[in-house]
Amino acid sequence: MNYLLKISFNISIILLSIAILASCEQKETASIDEQNETKEQQISEELFESFKNSQTGQTDKIVNVYKLFSNYIDTMEKNPDASQIDTYKKEVLDPIYNDCFQEAEYIHMADSLLNEAPTRYTELKKIIKKLDKEDTNKIIKEALEKSASYLPSEKETTVCVFPAANSNYAMINVGVGKIIVLYDMYYTEGKIQAGIAHEYHHSVWTEKYLRKALPFSVLDNVIFEGKAVMFEKLVYPEISFTPINMDYNKDYWSKIEPDFDKYDINRSFEIISGGMELPPLYGYSEGYKMVKSYLDLNPNATIEEWTAMSGKDIFQKGKYAEKYE
């Protein structure tokens, strides 16, 4: 009987020990899970900042993509033989893709951003340091709200802030409610404000009129940019962001006017960007002047009205071709 009690006692001790060990392992696992969850929450809070737009009532969002670049740069510096593009996509793009690019109507505008890994690490570090010091998000919020007071949107707007060491653009709009800030060392408060207003107009136009406007002619594309320039200058008249040349050079005009009825995105970009046979940013300037010509003749037209108008109507009713006669 004592022998059986002894065996029973030993078994109880073993079972109790197993239970205690299992409990410890569960607590340790739970503790690790909680730590990981807390870390993910901290990263999320640093990465995403949401706020209620006082003008639209929508919950807009700022995505601080630049905060992900440190991991990317550290990984590449420690493992220089690693695939740059794979590392870039894993560390930077994957965590923010849905917020910044998912279902974007103009995803082609971000082709280089999505498919070319940044390599100028020293410059990127300086830009990230500059971003950390400045209250960029506050400026973006104010610019979104001010823009919305002129032209309300019914959609949430997300602004994604990338550090950019070698971009040809200051900002791009990739679709409804999706603005990409390509922040470099030369960014100023005014550049952020006017740039946000410009891209915000693209976003709202896309939200309300894209499906009605397709396909897009060269003239449509030029006036699409001209409307955004006009809007930026109405919202921030004191800021010089997009340069305007008020001359009417017939030689330059003769190079672009024959192409207006074509449906050629590459020719549109050539005219808008300028260069080669045209002055830099020539299409932005001409597009703005086309819209201005219309508004000079129709000063009571509201922002909503001229935003909704086709490029052909703006051009014809503004009698812009007469400027070159």
Percent of the chain with pLDDT over 90: 78
Q: Distance between CA atoms of 143 and 148, rounded to whole angstroms?
A: 8
Largest separation between any pair of C-alpha atoms in the chain: 120
Please state the pTM of the whole predicted model: 0.86
Percent of the chain with pLDDT over 70: 86
Residue bearing tokens 């919950």: 59
**Given pLDDT bands bounded at 50, 70 and 90, which one contains residue 41?**
low
Residue bearing tokens 């004592």: 2
Handedness of CA 183, 102, 272, 212 (dihedral sign): negative
Q: Please name the residues in contact with 200: beta carbons below 8 A apart, sequence gap of 6 or more.
A: 143, 144, 147, 148, 151, 153, 157, 173, 179, 231
pLDDT tens-digit map of 75-106? 999 999 999 999 999 999 999 999 999 999 99
Element housing 20 (H / E): helix 2-47
Q: Which of 39-48, 139-148, 257-266, 306-315 has the lowest mean pLDDT?
A: 39-48
What's the chain's average pLDDT?
Answer: 89
Q: Which of 54-63, 114-123, 129-138 has the lowest mean pLDDT?
A: 129-138
Residue bearing tokens 């040349």: 245
Q: How many CB atoms lie within 10 A of CB 320?
A: 20
Q: Distance between CA atoms of 267 and 56, rounded to whole angstroms?
A: 36
Q: In what order do the strands lie in the sheet with 158-163?
A: 48-52, 59-63, 158-163, 178-183, 171-175
Q: Distance between CA atoms of 254 and 67, rounded to whole angstroms?
A: 47
Q: Distance between CA atoms of 249 and 130, rounded to whole angstroms?
A: 41
Local structure of 50: helix, strand or coil? strand
Is it the case that residue 16 has pLDDT exceeding 60? no
Ramachandran category for residue 279: left, alpha or beta (phi over 0 → left; psi -120 to 50 → alpha): beta
Q: Distance between CA atoms of 175 and 210, rounded to whole angstroms?
A: 10
Q: Distance between CA atoms of 73 and 122, rounded to whole angstroms?
A: 9
Question: How many whole angstroms from its chain centre is CA 174?
Answer: 7
Question: How many whole angstroms from its chain centre is CA 281?
Answer: 20
Is it the case that residue 205 has pLDDT exceeding 60? yes
pLDDT tens-digit map of 128-150? 999 877 789 999 999 999 999 99
Q: Distance between CA atoms of 307 and 231, rounded to whole angstroms?
A: 9
Tell me if 214 sits within 8 A of 205, measured CB to CB: no
Closest CA to 172 of 141, 145, 216, 202: 202
Tell me if 59 sits within 8 A of 156, measured CB to CB: yes
Q: Distance between CA atoms of 296 and 321, rounded to whole angstroms?
A: 14
